[in-house]
Amino acid sequence: MTTAIELGGLIAACAVLIGCVVRVDLLRAGEHRVSVFGVYLLWAVFAFGVVLGLLRGEDLDWYDVAALAGMLMHLALSRKNWRGCAPREAKVRDVRGQHG
């Protein structure tokens, strides 16, 4: 049972890691918000840490499971907005062209 849970955790962590790397690849410096870069980079670092921990034989904690589940849900639910490019919400607002 423990091996199945660890294998599931490894698969989930790899899915989060790959999903975050793909999204960061769609972002462009100066065009997209730094906060969006930061969120996906930190999620990727967390998922990579879980992968390394599991490969070293560490146990999968409940908070690892909860965090990975939340990240996977977000990545899955926002997938349509990220098809081919980053969504408008990730772009830096251009205030140079606005008056008033």
State the pLDDT at residue 100: 46
In this prediction the pTM is: 0.86
**How would DSSP label each residue in 34-96?**
HHHHHHHHHHHHHHHHHHHHHHTT----HHHHHHHHHHHHHHHHTGGGGSSS--GGGBPP--T
Per-residue confidence in pLDDT tens, the chain, 100 aa: 678 899 999 999 999 999 999 999 999 988 888 999 999 999 999 999 999 999 999 999 999 999 999 999 999 999 998 888 888 888 887 545 555 4
- Residue 92's closest CA among 23, 31, 24? 31
Where are the domains positioned within the chain?
A: 2-82
